[in-house]
Structure 1
């Protein structure tokens, strides 16, 4: 991903008078179209997305508009899966109540783009930044306006005067502080000849702003420390690393020649730097650490290609083997000690990507050689060192850099992604046990197989995600799930043997992906409110719209509400992150001769759900249940969970204080709770792990935290985070051989002692050659440092199961995804 540009060389000017504005607009109409913004949705997990950005009304076809004629204010319809005796009219007489709770706001300015951010949680404070930006020959003409709402977007106040009517750089976004700190930073555009940049700071939820001139030009958005929102980190356009200890009031350059910097735990800062060269010298960088905000530094690695943080793990991609390949190294003590991850090495045209990481484990994608567009997913142990092969032929393109890997946050252990089959078709796969087994999605009961299906009675649902969006298919949104809307997953998809390029429909699952139903025909925007009590959707159309759809029973029945008589060009739905709000904002713009204005409609559903939910409104639901008659039914990762879920027939408010109620219970251990250990794999359609033929009868040794270990195993190791007790418990023992060893993660001290190990290496190689000639094969597993390295990893499942059309009785008891914009860049975010 390209970094934001430095300060512009041209001038930034605000408009002076209506005449100048009209003149510029006329020029824009006559000249070729200018792109004023691009679609962006920043949602790094965690925390949830708090900022939305929509482009301006540029490039839209402004043909004659048909007269909408008389439009009904409300209506309803039944999803085809419902029986005729089922009621689809739980919400009655809603039109008048919604009309009284629909709030319009017209932003009376000329705007090319709009950015919207929530400030804090449950505060109701929203900031909206509108920007009109025109690059001219010798200068940049721009105007920004800043608006603030305290009631979840129902009313806005123009507070542009608080930032001195300054033009704000939209590529830096609105930097919101962590948690409920109330801190906001806006980065201003300054003239090309200035000595530094300029920011506006607020620590009271944007009620007031303070202007601060910087001693440097920022290259990236200010980065808040997760532990202390007064501590800020920034990179300059001259590759300086700057730190502020008082929320941007005063800045200090703590290091030069810095390429990438990140906050770690306890206010630790990690960064890569170059000694002689530049940031383009990947593989020759050094990784440094400071634990005291720049007073002291420690070099924790050299020959660095890239680095990243995930959960409690620190990762580094390190050059090896005469600088032709790279290996991943892992640290759990902030870089004091390192262990080589037992993953394949990659060449110059390949990449690593962390798909997901928490304190228990890591999903790692390893690209295949060549421009194949796919690779392999590996899952780690709880140390991030030992990996098991999880899914082959995982789709991850090098052109465009997209993967469909999605964490289903509404049910633990569930992930969805796409694989590229042998015939180059794309198929959706799902795992319910954190990567242990992958299956096809079952065919929705109310859908028919499309033309891609060889057997019209047996096919699967295939989900459209990031890859489809990147290919400009008619897919406006990626899959959606929320932790407090238990079991609900909403996504665009097609039903057949593979993903189809035809217009998709919208599907919903209420059990975390085990079963699906078609919810809406055609592409839609959608969002979840009130912890799943309401689902709102708007049809995706190139024409102006004025209708929303909402459901109070998880998509079984839909109500239609006309929120305005005058249709608008729709750009997006906005609701407070966390899916607890009862408010939804519909954003778009209107157009008339020479004017195009942003407009928002905020609808409050509180009067639709008139009462608070009571105990009788909830029912007990067993997650991951596939066989109610089995005593192990619902056991996933060692325990089962029963939830209290809202009945579909109940029309009531969960409320903002709703807490998911669940009752876990421990399960006895079975082979499903174990992965295959070093040197073992699971044959296809077999739950038992068998030893790799070439390792039978030989010792297994590996380097861990600088000490050589010997492994005695029956072929199984427990899945990270699995909580089972008793039952099956395969023996496994790791012995410390009391021998020192090092990985090839070269620190300066390691380099100094490298020459001393040459005789040892030669002796070992010679011994191995003699042994081979004698006909005895000795395989050392995961031996690090100056030894001969043989790479091994266990195999969870050699092939994904193809039983997606099986009945529920035969089901196995088992998050934007990584982003990659260049095939030779490791994504260790």
Structure 2
């Protein structure tokens, strides 16, 4: 009995300690002067499995070795930095490019730097970039651009046929970590520089693009492209107005030169010593290739590049390229490859235009391939969601789980706009202001754009809907909202028990946080409804899911950035600032997977025009970028939770088995994590270790979509 009372006392003491716990907070400051009317906030890049980060801003580089508690200036480069990148495949390495020319590399997380010797023929070395190999640290690809004549990049750099300037792009390969580079020469006749030449050059990629790749690790694929100007003519591309609720956008081109492009696909297996054309595509112009873990997809054209009906799709899984087939009536939509084409290593996604209404209109549809990549079908038939655009995201470490956002447009009106100023009548202003703007722009400045003809104005609203799949996209579910306390009911504009018409809809798609993986604990910003209007964030709240995305609960009635520590057992939430109030005054933290929250008030408010957050082990680094008239400043807060629960480490009795997808059998396997119990008073303390995914064999069953 005495032992039992003692254990109860210890548990209550630990609980009280957790509730009273205040994390350690360190504040540091980095400041650089900036040019008048120009601010460069740069970025924060963290090395994985380390306490080291690189901060680049205002052309200078700074480094921390202690989770941002203190910073040092890297004097090797001076104030001459163009960009900084940490190697995504090799955790000890990072590269820095300087404006004066040259690329520097560190192979010990910033403690020592050395310059890479670039080819002597490259004079402007600032226009060079590197690509690394997922498996071999010695393999590098280098691309450099050379501007011949008076050619300049930018919006005003359109060449005219009588110009003698052009841009050249050269590709090099190295198999000795950059000690030497070999130019990758194209196996075609060199193009003579004629007055109509706009561009010629070579762009290469490793066939192995990720650690998941099943393709040959020694092959490099390249496209050699030649672009020439043929004539001048007035033409309009996508002459439309787009009215999305309160915002109006326009896209209009005129008096642009017309260009013809010829591209050739080739490859090398010996780092450029020899090159060979891809036989299957040597009679076609290969416009682009995309490399995925198990497939390479190429787009070829047989005719004028403006005639996209002549484009064909080719796919290889390591052997010869073969022609892929789209559904009847579907035509590949150029420049519309989704960010995530290979959400499953065996499948490919791409967009296609499909004629509707007997040829009087087109709609955009997402297509999905079979495992061979050669036969495509409509993805819409799986999701049952009509959409003009689909964005898919694999959730980190959650096997088989895919987050989907399906956007669709609703036409409001169709009218004829004589010039862009007429759309002021769509603004949310009073009628007197509208009339004044109309008179001013149509009477006093009527001839400012005499070449602009009337064009169709299409007003529409763009909506999006969020869904989740737990079986690689075979079935999709709405995101169920729960409200155990009932205190957020007034913020919901629909019945959350009717999941078909009332579910969680994500509104913020981009994050400033570099997070460690969690065992099914997620936080996102959004609203509750049947769908959400794009650009409408008036009712944004922050939601949490502790079951891998199946159900969502409100944690804050305002948007935050969420940083996860200890695999999601500790959460730090930083309120998002806005133009109405850039000042950050406090943050919130939870040590029980987001069930209970406490506030931490900063000693003094800090303006945060730019926020960057990195979570590692038991520490969160929060960088707040702001500016004064003369300088750009970063204030860093390092938040330390290493002493929560008295620093105790979890034992076997503190674990629970948590199954992904509620224990459903996915392709014959059940997946699970060993996760800390929410009320366990301990830390996992596995800094820089990945979550271990457990697998169990099971009998698959037919799962019906619960859309």
Q: Same fold (TM over 0.5)?
A: yes
Indicate the residue corresponding to 1:252 in structure 2.
182
In 2: Cα distance, 1:582 partner to 1:155 partner: 17
The answer to whether 1:155 aligns with 2:70 is yes
Indicate the residue corresponding to 2:520 in structure 1.
487
Deviation for aligned residue 1:311: 0.7
Contact 1:88 1:557 in 2 (8 A): no
Q: Alpha-carbon deviations, 1:65-121, whole Å to 9, x = none? A: xxxxxxxxxxxxxxxxxxxxxx996723323xx2xx322221132253344454643
Alpha carbons of 1:359 and 1:336: their partners in 2 closer, same or farther (altered >3 Å)?
farther
Deviation for aligned residue 1:235: 1.8
**Residues 207-216 or 539-548, more deviating:** 207-216
Indicate the residue corresponding to 1:183 in structure 2.
93
Indicate the residue corresponding to 1:603 in structure 2.
639
Give the alignment's TM-score, normalised by structure 1.
0.59
In 2: Cα distance, 1:564 partner to 1:374 partner: 54
Alpha carbons of 1:385 and 1:88: their partners in 2 closer, same or farther (altered >3 Å)?
farther
The answer to whether 1:376 aligns with 2:299 is no
In 2: Cα distance, 1:593 partner to 1:276 partner: 45
In 1: Cα distance, 2:472 partner to 2:673 partner: 20
Q: Which of 535, 543, 557 is matched with 2:582 structurally?
A: 543
Contact 1:619 1:644 in 2 (8 A): yes
Contact 1:377 1:394 in 2 (8 A): no
Deviation for aligned residue 1:223: 0.9
The answer to whether 1:614 aligns with 2:544 is no
In 1: Cα distance, 2:132 partner to 2:622 partner: 30
Q: Which of 559, 580, 583 is matched with 2:598 structurally?
A: 559
Q: Structure 1: give runs of 5+ residues left out of the alignment.
A: 1-86, 132-143, 191-196, 398-402, 470-475, 626-632, 673-686, 688-800, 805-829
Contact 2:45 2:55 in 1 (8 A): no
In 2: Cα distance, 1:182 partner to 1:601 partner: 25
**Structure 1 SS opposite 2:604:** coil
The answer to whether 1:498 aligns with 2:531 is yes
Q: CA RMSD in A?
A: 3.5
Q: Which of 504, 517, 525 is matched with 2:561 structurally?
A: 525
The answer to whether 1:664 aligns with 2:670 is no
Pairing 1:425-504 to 2, within 5 Å after superposition: 425-446=463-484, 447-448=488-489, 453=494, 459-465=501-507, 477=511, 484-500=517-533, 501=536, 502-504=538-540
Deviation for aligned residue 1:451: 7.4
In 2: Cα distance, 1:520 partner to 1:568 partner: 21
Deviation for aligned residue 1:224: 1.4
Pairing 1:393-432 to 2, within 5 Å after superposition: 395=387, 404-420=391-407, 425-432=463-470
Alpha carbons of 1:212 and 1:637: their partners in 2 closer, same or farther (altered >3 Å)?
closer
In 1: Cα distance, 2:575 partner to 2:227 partner: 55
Q: Alpha-carbon deviations, 1:127-176, whole Å to 9, x = none? A: 11221xxxxxxxxxxxx32212222222211222x22x14111xxx3132
In 1: Cα distance, 2:261 partner to 2:269 partner: 24
In 2: Cα distance, 1:368 partner to 1:450 partner: 39
**Structure 2 SS opposite 1:305:** strand
In 2: Cα distance, 1:307 partner to 1:178 partner: 21
Q: Which of 161, 164, 167 is matched with 2:80 structurally?
A: 167
Identify the structure with bigger relative contact order (alpha carbons < 8 Å, sequence gap 6+).
Answer: 1
The answer to whether 1:288 aligns with 2:266 is yes
In 2: Cα distance, 1:657 partner to 1:347 partner: 43
Deviation for aligned residue 1:308: 0.8
Q: Which of 305, 315, 319 is matched with 1:330 structurally?
A: 315
Indicate the residue corresponding to 2:665 in structure 1.
635
Alpha carbons of 1:91 and 1:307: their partners in 2 closer, same or farther (altered >3 Å)?
same
Q: Alpha-carbon deviations, 1:215-267, whole Å to 9, x = none? A: 32354531112232233212221211122344334333223643432112323
Alpha carbons of 1:179 and 1:363: their partners in 2 closer, same or farther (altered >3 Å)?
closer
Indicate the residue corresponding to 1:106 in structure 2.
29
Indicate the residue corresponding to 1:784 in structure 2.
none
Q: Which of 375, 381, 386 is matched with 1:386 structurally?
A: 375
Deviation for aligned residue 1:524: 0.8
Contact 2:514 2:614 in 1 (8 A): no
Q: Alpha-carbon deviations, 1:507-541, whole Å to 9, x = none? A: 11111221111121111111211111211111112
In 2: Cα distance, 1:582 partner to 1:481 partner: 12
Contact 1:410 1:488 in 2 (8 A): no
Alpha carbons of 1:421 and 1:200: their partners in 2 closer, same or farther (altered >3 Å)?
closer
Contact 1:105 1:601 in 2 (8 A): yes
In 1: Cα distance, 2:15 partner to 2:408 partner: 41
In 1: Cα distance, 2:325 partner to 2:618 partner: 46
Identify the structure with the greater strand proportion: 2
Contact 2:48 2:91 in 1 (8 A): no
Deviation for aligned residue 1:480: 9.4
Contact 2:365 2:388 in 1 (8 A): no
Alpha carbons of 1:616 and 1:189: their partners in 2 closer, same or farther (altered >3 Å)?
same
The answer to whether 1:362 aligns with 2:347 is yes
Pairing 1:641-790 to 2, within 5 Å after superposition: 641-655=671-685, 656=687, 658=689, 660-672=691-703
Q: Which of 77, 101, 106 is matched with 1:202 structurally?
A: 106
Q: How many residues align?
A: 539
Give the alignment's TM-score, normalised by structure 2.
0.68
In 2: Cα distance, 1:456 partner to 1:479 partner: 32
Contact 2:541 2:557 in 1 (8 A): yes
The answer to whether 1:261 aligns with 2:248 is no
Deviation for aligned residue 1:585: 1.2
In 1: Cα distance, 2:529 partner to 2:491 partner: 5
**Residues 539-548 or 271-280, more deviating:** 271-280
Alpha carbons of 1:503 and 1:478: their partners in 2 closer, same or farther (altered >3 Å)?
farther
Deviation for aligned residue 1:669: 4.0
In 2: Cα distance, 1:614 partner to 1:584 partner: 24
**Structure 1 SS opposite 2:624:** strand
Deviation for aligned residue 1:549: 0.8
Alpha carbons of 1:309 and 1:457: their partners in 2 closer, same or farther (altered >3 Å)?
closer
Pairing 1:285-364 to 2, within 5 Å after superposition: 285-300=263-278, 301=281, 302-319=284-301, 324-333=309-318, 336-342=320-326, 345-346=330-331, 351-353=336-338, 355-357=340-342, 360-364=345-349
**Structure 1 SS opposite 2:653:** helix
**Residues 542-551 or 175-184, more deviating:** 175-184
**Structure 2 SS opposite 1:487:** coil
In 1: Cα distance, 2:277 partner to 2:343 partner: 26
Deviation for aligned residue 1:268: 2.1
